[in-house]
Structure 1
Amino acid sequence: MTTLDKIIETFTQQIKFSGIIEIEDIPNIDLYMDQVTTFMDKALEQYKRYEEDKILTKTMINNYTKAKIFPAPVKKKYSRTHIMLLIMIYHLKSVLSIRDIGILFQPVLSVKSIEEQEELIRNLYEGFTKLQLTTRQFMQSSAEGIKDTTTPAKDILEEYKDEKIKKILLVLLLAIRANAEKQLAERVLDLYF
């Protein structure tokens, strides 16, 4: 097996097991900060490059709240909606600045009605997971040299009528792809250098 074959095999295996956290996998009860960080560490563990890496810390979450890119907890508890936002923020933070993430989520977080805000975040998150899946399938097909048969991202974006949701999902798609490429580069570096 050549070096390139090993890289492709390693990458293909990583893609197969990269976690996509569906809404149903997120606790439907409010969590305290320690429970949130524990959930995030377990749910996003496969994204760690090194064992000692932290997914999200209390300080990060507090900074996101202070920067107004993340709503404050209610009575020190975080809802399923908070967790959805944190997962998307986690995937964005290695690509965009905190300021840019704030600009991206501003149209959603500025909605006055909590119910409407939660519905928008849920719609965004559903689109986000669909885009993660199609990106994962595309990258796996590419690595294996198979003709791509995935649902094009454009089709997923077209499912949404709200233009602001489409625009946010486009940025999320680009971040998902950038993160996948970054992780592949890190894996190759760690494996061969």
Structure 2
Amino acid sequence: MDNLSELIKNVGLTNQVRLEDIPAIDLYMDQVTQLFENTYHASKRNENEKVLTKTMINNYAKGKLLFPIENKKYTKAHIMLIQLIYQLKGALSINDIRIVLEKLNRKLDTKALAFEPIYQQYIRMQDEQVQTFQDAVKTLHQAVEEKLSEVEVKDQAYIEQLLMVTSLINMSNMYRKLAERIVDQMEGTKDIK
């Protein structure tokens, strides 16, 4: 798998809606979808894939994943929340996302929390995790190559890809299961306020 570095590069791991990307003024839904499309267009799997649609945003609002929108305009806090939802929906159910964001939404709705510094740390952590991921994938690839060298197989390139895909999915499942356990703890420790 000679093109592993190129595959990692094309995933668009550094694509994020950063604070400096979010205008200081409130946005209409079309502007929000365009912001996300511009940010994530390079990381789409194919051209027909939609990054974020009006229907998705409406469903987030109806599902109480976002604090109320006023005058059909989305604030900076709404856009930061939509970014979180965008990332979370890849691994968690809508109900789990609601649990994770419920307290945050209440605090944002009552203006009881300064969200920008927290969001900035979230983005910094994501940036740091990119390097960790790249290093982990290279280590995994070396392990796959070592395991393959111990057995004689036909169509070695396919078997290498098979082992990489199954190993990556296994790691993904372990992270998702741990995240779900943390969500379960969050649900059990909700405060009344």
Scaled by the length of structure 1, the TM-score of the pair is: 0.65
Deviation at 1:51, TM superposition (A): 0.6
Further displaced range: 45-54 or 105-114: 105-114
Quote how far apart the aligned CAs of 1:102 are: 0.4
- Asked if the contact 2:33/2:54 (under 8 Å) is kept, the reply is yes
How many Å apart are 1:16 and its aligned residue?
A: 7.0
Q: CA deviation at 1:11?
A: 2.9
1:136 partner letter: V
**Highest CA radius of gyration, 1 or 2?**
2
Contact 1:12 1:144 in 2 (8 A): no
**1:168-189 residue CA offsets vs partner (Å, 9 max, x unmatched):** xxxxxxxxx949x9xxxxxxxx
Provide closer, same or farther for how the CA distance between residues 111 and 12 of structure 1 changes in structure 2, counting only shifts above 3 A.
closer
Name the counterpart of 1:163: none
Give the aligned length.
Answer: 143
Distance 1:77 1:142, change over 3 A: same
**Aligned partners of 2:74, 2:109: CA distance in 1, in Å?**
18
Aligned residue among 34, 46, 58 for 1:38: 34
Q: Deviation of residue 38 (structure 1)?
A: 1.0
Alignment root-mean-square deviation, CA: 2.5
Runs of 4+ in 1 over 4 A off after TM superposition: none
Unaligned runs of 5+ in 1: 146-176, 182-193
Question: Could you tell me which residue of structure 2 aligns to residue 103 of structure 1?
Answer: 99
Residue aligning to 1:88? 84
TM-score, reference length from structure 2: 0.65
Match of 1:127 in 2: 121
Contact 1:11 1:143 in 2 (8 A): no
Distance 1:15 1:135, change over 3 A: farther
1:6-30 deviation digits (Å, cap 9, x = unpaired):
2x22234236763133211211111
Distance in structure 2 (CA, Å) of the matches to 1:127 and 1:104: 17
Match of 1:60 in 2: 56
Alignment partner, residue 136 of structure 1: 130
Matching residue within 20, 25, 48 for 2:21: 25
- For structure 1, which segment, 12-21 or 125-134, has the greater mean C-alpha deviation from structure 2 after superposition? 12-21
Report the Cα distance in structure 1 between the residues aligned to 2:69 and 2:109, rounded to whole angstroms.
16
- Distance in 2 (CA, whole Å) between partners of 1:112 and 1:11 is 38
Distance across 2 between alignment mates of 1:66 and 1:127: 28
